[in-house]
Amino acid sequence: MIEPVAARKVSKAFDQKMSWVYDEHRTWNLRFTHENTVVHAFIQKRPHYCDRGHYQLNIDILKSTEPWGELDPQDGFPRYYMSFKTAAEECESFLIWRLLKIPMEQQWISFRR
């Protein structure tokens, strides 16, 4: 079982819960606001013949008054993934790291029984 270490900090910090919504364009969308930053992330299924990955992830910072609120080419979007689950998890981890400055190794921890 995987449990978020910083779950309380994350849930208190974001104005709304992260949830992916599937739209009529066959795209999964994640939109949320954190302080003065508005984020839109989206994942699209790629054509079956694409060999870089089955899913494409993009993240756009729509509005931000923070100095770190812009993405640059080094952030590497779009990104390609073989599974939707991996794309969504890495997107959420990236945003938590970028907006809350919680290191990725502290976001999740595995518990063994």
d(CA 64, CA 66): 5
Task: Tell me what pLDDT residue 10 has.
Answer: 53
d(CA 18, CA 110): 21
Residue 43, SS3? strand
d(CA 99, CA 24): 29
pLDDT in tens, 56-87: 999 988 887 766 667 766 777 899 999 999 99
pLDDT at 112 exceeding the cut of 50:
no
Cβ count near 94 (within 10 Å): 19
Task: Tell me what pLDDT residue 37 has.
Answer: 81
Q: Write out the residue range of the structural domain in which residue 101 sits.
A: 2-110
Q: Model confidence at 3, in pLDDT bands (50, 70, 90)?
A: very low
**pTM for this model (two decimals):** 0.73
Q: What domain count does the chain have?
A: 1
Give the single-character DSSP code of 46: P
Q: What is the mean pLDDT of the chain?
A: 76
